[in-house]
């Protein structure tokens, strides 16, 4: 059987993204969303979820701030004296995952994971799973925080977005061969997750085409339909970043149209029909065994 979770990343990044994701939960095709708790519109996202039981929230672990506009430059939620290695001299997250990984101390990452989780539960939201914004926990650049992440997930019984299949990692990294250290690290992650009882998915997918190629809604739709048609057996996740054209982040942002088209896709009845034709069963993280 081919099972599929469809997740909307970046809930909370701005109000327009929150509106788009809620709209999809109400009228489109979506299994879950993951919220960026350090972002300016996280409170708005939580309010929507508490008022709308259709919205299923996971934690989008956020440790870098790639945007530097008025909606970006996010800070850790844990006290600054406990997270100084995660921030620049101004007290904000570093822009890139590479800068974060080079400076971060593992014990301070663990403190921030706890703070982001408590931010949700103290506001009445119990996350259904966790994942990592821009893969900052994975260690694809050689510095991994998966030990801290898996221990955090085990503590709160949260499934985590990480593919069990090594071939899938190659696809995500767009390489034919992985360096031996990454292969060994992947094996260690799987073994540690099993030891801790943390549930993982089998395969992870998203649209990896260059933005220069994504010139229309049809190109985005066709790529996701291709991915869905080729889904392997087991538990799969496709993650997207839907938003609408009114977001202030979309202004002069050449990458934003693809988010608008992903929003359109998740509202398109053709997606439901394609899933039915392929015999794909849509599930949530609660269904992973």
Task: Output 241-246 pairs: Cβ under 8 A, ≥24 positions apart.
Answer: 241/8, 241/9, 241/10, 242/8, 242/17, 242/20, 242/21, 242/24, 242/266, 243/10, 243/14, 243/16, 243/17, 243/20, 244/16, 244/17, 244/19, 244/20, 246/16
Beta bridge partners of 235: 3
Lowest mean pLDDT across 24-33, 63-72, 93-102, 263-272? 63-72
Separation between Cα atoms, residue 129 and residue 57, nearest integer Å: 8
pLDDT of residue 271 exceeding 90: yes
User: pLDDT value at position 72?
Assistant: 67
Place of tokens 């099972």: 3
Q: What whole-number distance in Å separates Cα of residue 29 and Cα of residue 19?
A: 15
> What is the pLDDT averaged over residues 210-234?
95
Residues near 81 by Cβ (< 8 Å), separated by ≥ 6? Answer: none
pTM assigned to the model: 0.95
Give ∠ CA 286-204-151 in degrees, rounded to 5: 60
**What are the structure tokens assigned to 136, written together?**
């900052």
- 2-287 folds as TIM Barrel (3.20.20)
Averaged pLDDT, 161-187 = 84
Q: Count of H helices and E strands in the chain?
A: 10, 9
Quick one: pLDDT band at residue 71, thresholds 50, 70, 90?
low
Q: Which of 60-74, 187-201, 233-247, 267-281 has the lowest mean pLDDT?
A: 60-74
pLDDT at 69 over 70: no
Q: Under DSSP, is residue 163 helix (H, G, I), strand (E, B) or coil?
A: strand
Measured on CA atoms in the order 253, 255, 259, 262, is the torsion positive or negative?
positive
Q: pLDDT averaged over the chain?
A: 94
Q: What residue spans define the domains of the chain?
A: 2-287
């Amino acid at each position: 059987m081919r099972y599929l979770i469809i997740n909307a990343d970046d809930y909370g990044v701005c109000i327009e993204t929150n509106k788009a994701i809620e709209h999809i939960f109400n009228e489109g095709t979506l299994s879950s969303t993951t919220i960026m708790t350090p972002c300016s519109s996280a409170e708005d996202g939580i309010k929507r979820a508490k008022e709308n039981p259709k919205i299923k929230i996971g934690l989008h672990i956020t440790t870098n701030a790639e945007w530097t506009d008025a909606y970006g430059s996010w800070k850790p939620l844990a006290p600054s004296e406990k997270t100084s290695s995660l921030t620049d001299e101004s007290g904000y997250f570093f822009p890139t995952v590479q800068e974060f990984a080079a400076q971060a101390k593992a014990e301070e990452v663990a403190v921030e994971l706890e703070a982001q989780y408590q931010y949700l539960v103290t506001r009445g939201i119990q996350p259904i799973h966790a994942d990592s914004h821009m893969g900052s926990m994975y260690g694809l650049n050689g510095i991994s925080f998966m030990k801290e992440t898996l221990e955090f997930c085990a503590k709160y019984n949260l499934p985590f977005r990480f593919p069990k299949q090594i071939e899938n990692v190659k696809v995500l990294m767009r390489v034919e061969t992985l360096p031996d250290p990454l292969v060994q690290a992947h094996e260690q992650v799987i073994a540690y997750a099993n030891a801790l009882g943390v549930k993982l998915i089998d395969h992870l997918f998203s649209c990896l085409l260059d933005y220069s190629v994504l010139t229309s809604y049809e190109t985005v739709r066709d790529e996701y339909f291709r991915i869905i048609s080729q889904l392997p057996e087991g538990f799969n996740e496709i993650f997207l970043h839907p938003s609408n054209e009114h977001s202030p982040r979309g202004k002069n942002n050449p990458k934003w149209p693809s988010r608008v088209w992903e929003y359109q896709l998740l509202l398109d009845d053709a997606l439901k029909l394609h899933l039915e034709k392929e015999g794909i069963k849509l599930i949530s993280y609660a269904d992973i065994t």
